[in-house]
Structure 1
């Protein structure tokens, strides 16, 4: 179905066309009004276009308001402030649209008419090292975006690009040959291999000969030495088993796990192709891509082969990029990494454009997770917090809260609920932030049942499901009926904004829009529930009957539960039926 934001966006675009405002129009012509007292939807088009074309914004807004006028969805728009257009939706039209969604598993959201092939590259830890807290953001952000794009109808391929061919393997190989313990490799491979790496790295600082031995082991690996290849394959296999356990606990799944090593045979051809096309050039014995026509990159060459003939991370990324375009037919590739790699992906995108690869590259970057001291979150010893330790702590704290609030629950259910609440709270605390910003990690805040948190959303969902079960047990079914109270209408209008919210998440790769939306839905539901009894409504002037009012409010509960449940699914947070 067509939702009010989409309808009004098209209406406004057609009016702007008559004024000669062609492309490019503002990306978001219509968005939710920040304060519902001033309207339901809002546009800042007059502000943007007025400034761009030398028109006084407020006067332009008044002209646009008169041209738009009343529509099937809205009253004539009002001009506010320096030139905002505020739209108030017609209650009856909204209620009618809401009832058409009841029972639709997709809540009226149609799949993309022109689906794209989207590759989402995320998590990407290094083999032979434990995942730390920094990997959490990439992992859950990538999983969430993949779920949203799939829901909207795109053909999504998720890939975990493992660091499995780097210089650290020379030290790990040397360490295992000197101190290897089979039992420890089997028990905790990532922890053990990282320990071996740190031992050799520390020794190499004191003794340059050890560093040379490690380089020799790496050279043997990269040149096909059977013993080193066999050990390397064992390290990879053992590490992937442990990584899989972590991903399974987080509810994260990949279509492909392909490390840097998957492209190692393609690296020479990448350099040859770029040189043959004049994109890459020799420079002081190395090979670089230069960007003479890009003001931002003119003095920042992209190094793809070192003077000693070695290839780099950039070369591997170019080989992977070519593979994804040629084999997977990718239209769009999202790389989910921290903000420190912005220059790298800017160079990668610029190289791909010059190379003629028909793909849109997006670097979905994020800030850091900070401790209470506003510095990157670390242990008391100053080391990065291991991801497995963070997950265990989340479960422990959630279990303690649940044990206090619900001591009556059987142990098995207590553990299951604590897992959903703990992991959900950890994910939501991250996804609800503007990804480009750093944020301070506080256990008390993320596990709170008040405010913009996962426990608050889960509690709202659980409450609504309990209402629906009681209604079902009483033989009451949801149906069309009167919805006229302000809190009823506020909730109805919010539920009609689910599709535009997801489209905004997709266009900007920012899940915090979805989190904010779900929080507003949950808040609106609680206000509705407090002011409008559902199962035992009182008489209401002008309603046909108490029964029809009760049925309509149950329908509102049903629609809210479906929206919250779908939203939780897209965030990767497990639904609960009790808390």
Structure 2
């Protein structure tokens, strides 16, 4: 179902061809909402340079051409300013389109030609606690995955956890020392950092322990049966911890999506052999490296992609190359999406360039780096604890939930259980929305007081808007539900008109997010929708209106609730029963 702006895009393109010839086909109609009409096109300004005419004269020609090609659904098209085209839809057309939307289970979200899209996100480390740095890649990645799912793509979630390497010798030996049933071993499920730091202290302070740890790494890399058993226990306990975090954040990652570094152990030697045999990789100072044209460090010297270390070990580059090959060759990827920190940009580009040279990444498979910025503290520096450590993700969530619970403490109508449930839903939504509502490649300041507010562009504001509509519908006359499905929609004032236009634009916004990987665009649309519903509610009596108008406005309210709930679902945000 095309949105109003998409309908106008087709009309403007047809008018451009009619007025100025087929060679002008495909000109950007530059459509946007307007305070003076339902929509405005600025394309005459763009055409002026090529046509060497005044934009206003071009706009006049386009207005005539639009009338010639037909203006179904458009009540008027007027020129204004230096060369703008202002469009106003007919009330009847808007009404009919909203009725159509109300009967569409997809709410106008288009079904696309499905592609297989592996998406790499979250990627915590085994035996280490998830910190605030994991928040954005997890939240943004999950929203993008949900959106691509909704559009009909075959999304393959890839949680590339750090579950292999030299630290595991140290961790395995420490687990053996403290005992699998000890309280300290239980920290792997509750406070992994404490377990890791205790193992590190033993490694740094006890030479005998350090020697055992190094020997254990050799056994692990040799796939010793007993060492692998203990390693699997470490990984299993960490999975319990990851899943606890994911359940609390309501993200869609499961154990089936785990694709850790260990997954590719059997491929790494072959990766190196193929690159060396093809002349893509060469030995430099004992390490096998790929030197790519134009890739230099700050000192101007060639910057290598090291795929095998001088000691024979493998690093991130080797594993990342194996993931590319696997995702294209075995998963059948049509495009690759990586939701990873901005600082990893050069590394990813070098991996992809090497994979293309090796033939593992065809030109037909595009790669996308969804660059993730940092979460900052009030000092506009990376958010850290007073001791300088990274902020634990769970403690950050606890703080937001506690703030909401405190705000609800004056509500005598709520039981303790209801208060806790609302606090959890609203607090988690506050954190997620604060992250998703800003461009993913920019940094943002973590302000807990602002993000839990029920006013402004916040998650709780959207939740409150949805719960208010739900309450409104619940208080409608008992026989109203039977009448809603067949009732017409009446557009009788400007607040209704603005709200209907928002609702009809939802599907195209979701499609745009699927192309641009920018959840903040969806956040902006939902916030505008909630604001416009608030104005509609204030200016357009609903339950007090006459029966025909009441049914119409109730239907608009129901569709608004459906769209808000759907859109928030793509953000991974739930709507509580009450607030």
Superposed pair shares fold, TM > 0.5: yes
Structure with more relative contact order (C-alpha pairs < 8 Å, separation 6 or more)? 2
Q: TM-score, normalised by structure 1?
A: 0.89
Q: Which runs of 5+ in 2 are unaligned?
A: none
CA contact 2:77–2:85 (8 Å) conserved in 1: no
CA contact 2:127–2:195 (8 Å) conserved in 1: no
CA contact 2:166–2:217 (8 Å) conserved in 1: yes
**Counterparts of 1:315 and 1:13, CA distance in 2:** 48
Question: For structure 1, which segment, 216-225 or 417-426, has the greater mean C-alpha deviation from structure 2 after superposition?
Answer: 216-225
Give the C-alpha shift of residue 345 in structure 1. Answer: 1.4
Give the C-alpha shift of residue 118 in structure 1. Answer: 1.3
Q: Do residues 338 (structure 1) and 341 (structure 2) align?
A: yes
**Cα separation, partners in 2 of 1:419 and 1:55, compared to 1, 3 Å:** farther
Q: TM-score, normalised by structure 2?
A: 0.89
**Counterparts of 2:54 and 2:212, CA distance in 1:** 70
Q: Do residues 383 (structure 1) and 389 (structure 2) align?
A: yes
Q: Do residues 547 (structure 1) and 547 (structure 2) align?
A: yes
Counterparts of 1:395-474 in structure 2 under 5 Å? 395-404=401-410, 406-473=411-478
Give the C-alpha shift of residue 502 in structure 1. Answer: 0.8
CA contact 1:481–1:548 (8 Å) conserved in 2: no
Counterparts of 1:462-541 in structure 2 under 5 Å? 462-473=467-478, 475=480, 477-478=483-484, 479-537=487-545
| Structure 2 partner of 1:280 | 281
Match of 1:365 among 371, 375, 392: 371
SS of corresponding position for 2:352:
helix
SS of corresponding position for 2:105:
coil
**Counterparts of 1:195 and 1:395, CA distance in 2:** 24
**Cα separation, partners in 2 of 1:372 and 1:560, compared to 1, 3 Å:** same
Q: String of CA shifts for 1:87-112, please: whole Å, max 9, x gaps.
A: 44343322221111113221133311
| Structure 2 partner of 1:540 | none
CA contact 1:138–1:337 (8 Å) conserved in 2: yes
Aligned residue pairs, count:
562
| Structure 2 partner of 1:559 | 559
Q: Which runs of 5+ in 1 are unaligned?
A: 538-545
CA contact 1:188–1:242 (8 Å) conserved in 2: no
Counterparts of 1:71-470 in structure 2 under 5 Å? 71-74=71-74, 75-76=76-77, 78=79, 86-112=86-112, 114-180=113-179, 182-189=181-188, 193-202=192-201, 214-254=213-253, 255-292=256-293, 299-356=302-359, 357-358=361-362, 359-404=365-410, 406-470=411-475
**Cα separation, partners in 2 of 1:565 and 1:224, compared to 1, 3 Å:** same
SS of corresponding position for 1:188:
helix
Q: String of CA shifts for 1:257-312, please: whole Å, max 9, x gaps.
A: 12100101101111222233343333343223333378999944322222332211
CA contact 1:61–1:79 (8 Å) conserved in 2: no
**Cα separation, partners in 2 of 1:164 and 1:422, compared to 1, 3 Å:** same
Question: For structure 1, which segment, 319-328 or 559-568, has the greater mean C-alpha deviation from structure 2 after superposition?
Answer: 319-328
**Cα separation, partners in 2 of 1:218 and 1:295, compared to 1, 3 Å:** closer
**Cα separation, partners in 2 of 1:198 and 1:283, compared to 1, 3 Å:** same
**Cα separation, partners in 2 of 1:47 and 1:163, compared to 1, 3 Å:** farther
**Counterparts of 2:374 and 2:507, CA distance in 1:** 30
Q: Do residues 40 (structure 1) and 38 (structure 2) align?
A: yes
**Cα separation, partners in 2 of 1:57 and 1:237, compared to 1, 3 Å:** farther
Q: String of CA shifts for 1:479-531, please: whole Å, max 9, x gaps.
A: 20421201010101111110111122111111011111001000000101101
**Counterparts of 1:199 and 1:189, CA distance in 2:** 11
SS of corresponding position for 2:557:
helix
**Cα separation, partners in 2 of 1:171 and 1:42, compared to 1, 3 Å:** farther
Give the C-alpha shift of residue 208 in structure 1. Answer: 7.8
Question: For structure 1, which segment, 372-381 or 521-530, has the greater mean C-alpha deviation from structure 2 after superposition?
Answer: 372-381
Give the C-alpha shift of residue 253 in structure 1. Answer: 2.2
**Cα separation, partners in 2 of 1:30 and 1:569, compared to 1, 3 Å:** farther
**Cα separation, partners in 2 of 1:84 and 1:269, compared to 1, 3 Å:** farther
Q: String of CA shifts for 1:14-47, please: whole Å, max 9, x gaps.
A: 5566352478x66xx55533xx314433455566
